[in-house]
A and B are shown apart, each in its own frame.
Chain A
Amino acid sequence: MTVAIEVRGATKTFRQSTGVFGTDRMIRAVDGVSFAVEAGSCLGIVGESGCGKSTLARLILGLLPVSSGEILVEGQSLADMDRKSRARLIQPVFQDPFSSLNPRRRIRDIVAMPLQAQGIATRERASRVEEMLVRVGLPGAIADRLPAQLSGGQRQRVAIARALVLRPRIVVCDEPTSALDVSVQAQILNLLDELRRDLGLTYVFISHNLAVVEHISDRVAVMYLGRMVEQAGTDDLFAAPTHPYTKALLASVLTPEPGLGIPDVGLGDSYPDPANVPPGCRFHPRCPIAEARCAVETPQPRDLNGHQIECLLA
């Protein structure tokens, strides 16, 4: 297997100010995360808000430097790359196509921006933009419009065209369909899937929607308070979730089946606070099967039936 992305012990800490007289708190948004993504595959990352999944996306994109650890993209360290070569290799698609597109620029110019930044000649820019807009299923007439004149789905197609116009090898999608209606979400997911197969792209796909992740990913990683608590192949993970947190997450998905009622997730009322990571296993205060030692011992990553998990009990 060729590895497209390799993350080794990546950690990102932020300083949070607590006011003039308080001492600043350190928040480890991503705390020693390691994984690899096979070239041409899609890794889905799921977790609740505040688990560090978007910070991780920014680290992989090189938009934030790691505090410690290393990220290798196609064997090269991300830290050694300049912005231009990084942009040719990795591109992002963000959640909100309403705020990620400059409202004062025409669609044509928005999609051409990455080409312009690479110093590509005007004439080639025009033809590549046109080609890309067709590729993502937008009518040519849209090139002269402003983002405000487009629907949410069309805007997300523009964001995808902009991400792909440099022909990158890797695309990091951070909640790309969360702001869209279900019928449009399905259109965008189908488009992303088709583009990956046709262009041989590698995806990192971040979402809080488990069904969406199951649909598009080959492998899934579950994040909790900055750690990856379970990683496995998609079919394995959904068929036999192993970590108690993964089980709770899957149990909380409401499928459109009447009569099943509303599940009791069993996570209790406490909510994870990244500024206040519990000792031992960080999931223990919410864990339905926690024992006394879970509050003391920190679980190390281990392999269990092909799942990589961090749990003392599973």
Chain B
Amino acid sequence: MKKLIILIGCMLFLSFTVSAQKFITKTGHIKFFSESPLEKIEAHNRQVNAALDVATGDFVFKVLLKSFEFEKALMQEHFNENYVESDKFPNATFMGKVINIKDVNIGKDGVYDVVVEGKLTIHGVTQQISQKGSFEVKQGKIAVKAKFSILLSDYGIKIPAAVANNISKSVETSIDANLDLFNQTSR
């Protein structure tokens, strides 16, 4: 019996030390922006979930598409109904790795350039992507920043000819997420 307790104790300790390297947020911010000759479209989502394991570099994102807020209610309705079809595909996800996680020193405040590679899934279509971004380490927290563009046709999002002048083919996406150390015991 003692052995079992020790064993379980060890495993709990192990899992704790593993989780102690995880950083997490549920209030990340993603903004996207599309500018065309006729219309400027901007949307914000401030409920982005993200987790980063600084030991392995594993990095995941989960974005509820219905949480994007637009300036015009009608744009929001069209975004959900006609473009990303959020009833069918409620989330956009990213699963990948920070390939140069070794360069990031969590113990030392500073801005680190990172390269992230992995699978981005939007509208049920998965694409392998590689993007540059930055991690700003400050007092044990990590501010993740990245800016890149998403080509809508890569994800099977069709723009009808009638509104082709209103919506640009690619949207500028920027990510701004402050990750905190994930503390399992506090949950």
Q: Do A and B share a complex?
A: no
